[in-house]
Structure 1
Amino acid sequence: MFGQALGRPCIGWLSDRFGRINLTFIMSLITGILTFTVWINAKSFGVLLTFALVGGLSAGVFWVNISPVLVEVMDLENLASALSCLWVAMAAPSTFSAPIALEIYTGTGSYLGAQLFTGFMYIAASFCVLGVRRWKIDSLRGAKERSPASGEDGQDLKPMSWDLKCLKLDIV
């Protein structure tokens, strides 16, 4: 809780500065990496508390950025419908995640399976956000080609090779 209490306002500020989609990608990736490097290797309670604090700083990115990212993807007039669909889609995984983790622990006697699953899901989520980021950059580029205006934030979008589009530093 303490990590997220500190992390959520910082994530909001950084999202406004560097782009919501960019920060969602980076923080999801960082949380996945922290899961693999710190949580799985934690052998003492102190290290686990450190992971909870540092991981909490980045793990709150979903709750901070979900509405603004949905607005960027779906537009403001569709936000209520998009959030409703999201909450319905999240109901089953949220309801059954703890029993599934407990069953993994009961079957193996170790939390390693649940830890690996958590880390892989954060990494997979970050790459899904990377796909959304690429789509957003392409849609901004297409809008620029259709009109003389520049990107949504007033910055010019410069062309680059197709395979690196998703890694281009744009405020999206």
Structure 2
Amino acid sequence: MSESPPPPTTFREGGYGWVCVACTFLMNAHTWGINAAYGVFLSYYLSTDIFPGTSSLEYAFVGGLSISCAMLIAPLATYLDKRISTRFVLNLGAILETVSFIASSFVKKNWQLFLAQGACFGFGMGLCFCGSVGITSHWFEKKRSLVNGIGSAGSGIGGLIYSLAVGKMIPELGLPWSMRTLGIICFVVNITCANLLRVPSETRAAASASVKVPTLPLTLLKRLDFVLLLAWAFFSALAYVTLLFSLSSYCVAIGLTQQQGSLASALLSLGQAFGRPAVGLLSDHFGRIFISMIASFLAGLLSLVVWIFASSAGLTYFFAIIVGLFAGTLWASAAPLAAEVVGIQHLGAALGIIWFVLTPPAAVAEAIALQLRNEVGSSKPYLRVQLFAGFVYIGSAACLAWLLVEVRRKRRVARLGTDKSDL
């Protein structure tokens, strides 16, 4: 006897879904937003040498380690979400983040910093992000890209606030109490949001009634369209992390102050706060793959034609805002694009694979950037870094251009098959 089909998922396009959008926004602000402020921490570590004997490459590794650990834990987050609950994953992530900041306030050696601010924070951030990123897609269909853009804009607002706040707190409170303050704020906000976020009851019912979908269906890797999506995500993450963690130290390298570097990082986050919802809104109207492709290309173009020539504070601030509109497209568009390519029923599994694939670029991006820097005193100390970021962003756009061609080809074949069956 064949199994009955699962009940269809109802897209309410509102109601409690907007509560989930607000919670996702706040959680992104207190995970990715605070992580974006690591550029300020990095600038402080490099200028003070607070852990003697630690190289600039090792300091950069802390920021990359946090993002790579966040991506590395994605399959486990997906598994725990299916086996236990979304709420468990989110609460565990909130607790790990808090432990990270409190532990970081007591570190005395660089390896302790790697574990606390790098690995522990990364695992907490990954659980919070992976547990929450797909929830709003289950509440909306027509506005799916828009609400994902609004939710991911939280990281831009958080990055803006915390880049400025950290730059102010460290001189006035000292590094230990700055860490403790961040830990307390994170705990209160993230625990609250973790217990408010949930998927629609119809989605849970459909999942229970349907045939079980593997946590990581590796058959997706045999599909060209999904592989192209992974390639776009890989290159986007590589360029994004390079830009995010390099901008503040770039300002110091060209003779600006550490506070001006903090402001540049904050303005980059401000650009993302406006850019991500705008990309989402345009995607819903003009095509999600097409708009993401244009945004990725513009991020690369701006790095090549503006950042390279930004030798003053004003031009650097302008670049930070304008490139921020497009730089974080990956985080706003990954879930809607995955749903479009593999279907909503495979969204969680597809995102788990995407985040896992982002582990290597997140780990090595800033280390590569530091190795590409020219010698101190050079007229353009970050020229190779700027070229690297620009061309990698353009490469990611090329992957989406190919994906767009592939998706249109599949739709054309499907229409021809439907027409023949009607004859």
Q: TM-score, normalised by structure 2?
A: 0.34
Question: Aligned partners of 2:361, 2:298: CA distance in 1, in Å?
Answer: 22
Larger Rg: 2
Q: Deviations over 1:107-153 (max 9, x none)?
A: 685211111110010111001000000000001111111114xxxxx
Please name the residue that 1:131 is paired with.
402
What SS does the aligned partner of 1:128 have?
A: helix
After the TM superposition, which residues 8-19 of structure 1 pair with which residues of structure 2 at under 5 Å, given as runs?
A: 8-19=276-287
Runs of 4+ in 1 over 2 A off after TM superposition: 106-109
Question: Aligned partners of 1:6, 1:67: CA distance in 2, in Å?
Answer: 19
Please name the residue that 1:155 is paired with.
none
Pair 1:25-2:290 in alignment: no
Q: CA deviation at 1:30?
A: 0.9
Q: CA deviation at 1:60?
A: 2.1
Question: Aligned partners of 2:277, 2:343: CA distance in 1, in Å?
Answer: 24
**Which of 332, 345, 352 lines up with 1:77 in the alignment?**
345
Question: Aligned partners of 2:352, 2:332: CA distance in 1, in Å?
Answer: 16
Please name the residue that 1:117 is paired with.
388
Pair 1:96-2:364 in alignment: yes
Q: CA deviation at 1:44?
A: 0.8
Higher relative contact order (CA 8 A, sep 6+): 1
Q: Percent identity?
A: 36
Question: Aligned partners of 2:287, 2:375: CA distance in 1, in Å?
Answer: 42
The one-letter code matched in structure 1 to 2:318 is: T
Q: Deviations over 1:40-59 (max 9, x none)?
A: 11121111110110000111
Q: Which moved more, 1:88-97 or 1:129-138?
A: 88-97
Q: CA deviation at 1:96?
A: 1.7
Q: Which moved more, 1:80-89 or 1:123-132?
A: 80-89
Please name the residue that 2:321 is paired with.
53
The one-letter code matched in structure 1 to 2:339 is: V
The one-letter code matched in structure 1 to 2:271 is: G
Question: Aligned partners of 1:3, 1:66: CA distance in 2, in Å?
Answer: 19
The one-letter code matched in structure 2 to 1:88 is: F
What SS does the aligned partner of 2:310 have?
A: coil
Q: CA deviation at 1:62?
A: 1.2
Question: Aligned partners of 2:297, 2:366: CA distance in 1, in Å?
Answer: 22
Q: Which moved more, 1:95-104 or 1:31-40?
A: 95-104
The one-letter code matched in structure 2 to 1:142 is: V
Gaps of 5+ in 1: 149-172
Please name the residue that 1:164 is paired with.
none
Please name the residue that 2:182 is paired with.
none
Q: What's the RMSD between the two structures over aligned residues?
A: 1.4
* Matched-pair contact (CA < 8 Å) for 2:339–2:347: yes
Please name the residue that 2:415 is paired with.
144
